[in-house]
Amino acid sequence: MTIDLRDPSVGLNAETGSILTGWPHVIQSLRDIFDTRFGTRIMREWYASFVPNLLGRL
């Protein structure tokens, strides 16, 4: 199987470091965005969501 690293649905597994493709990569990315509080990233100020605030997580 050949993996095209230019494909936007290819990335690294956050837990193992192995290559993730397709829906597992999309799900991991969405989970990261929704679990990250807005304004907590220094270099990416606009990366994240207000979902943790809405759920009452601090």
Q: Distance between CA atoms of 31 and 1, rounded to whole angstroms?
A: 27
Residue 40 maps to a domain: yes
- Segment 3-46, tens digit of pLDDT: 776 777 788 999 999 999 888 999 999 999 988 988 888 888 88
Residue 45 maps to a domain: yes
- Segment 34-45, tens digit of pLDDT: 889 888 888 888
Residue 2 maps to a domain: no
DSSP state letters, 13-56: -TTT--EEEHHHHHHHHHHHHHHSBTT--SS-TT-SBSHHHHTT
Residue 33 maps to a domain: yes
- Domain boundaries, position 42: 10-54
Residue 5 maps to a domain: no
**How many domains does the structure of the chain reveal?**
1
